Homo-oligomer: A and B are copies of this chain.
């Protein structure tokens, strides 16, 4: 349950939550533990299962996020929109280990869900609240974390009834796909193929 939130944020049924991530957007990983909070960008996140819904995300050992995820056993995947592309790049470039006021510096606004201490980032199009499925070998060898999605939310302007509908909405609400060197691709035109 959203306990304080911007407009347009609605719950997504868990059985449809994979569709938030299925098109391969870049994510912001947020985490918190005992009052310490961080948000970092990650391009390497992917659905892993439908039911119960699971995801994978790569979280480097050098990151502050890694400490918070391992300590709390939780993380949130936030799907940034074009409107916050510059923040997304900054959150993926700077480490909270070096820039301790990283979130304030980049004016990252957040809200809370009842399922976790980790904040949800405003300006995103979807949110997946995840509980770590402990896999010590994957975490140690590959920096690969598996999460079970325990709650999901979306901006109803672009996702409702289990489907994205970016077309006809402001381009600022489209999700992002990172390449490298500050270059993103924006999620483009919808293409319906007859089965």
Contacts and interface: CB of A to CB of B under 8 A. Distances in A.
Contacts of A189: 185-186, 188
A131 interface: no
Contacts of A93: 195
A192 B182 contact: yes
Nearest to A54: B142
B142 A49 contact: yes
A187 B191 CA distance: 11
A103 interface: no
Given A93-B195, A163-B180, A47 B43 contact: yes
Given A23-B24, A164-B185, 5 more contacts: A22-B177, A24-B25, A24-B46, A48-B144, A183-B190
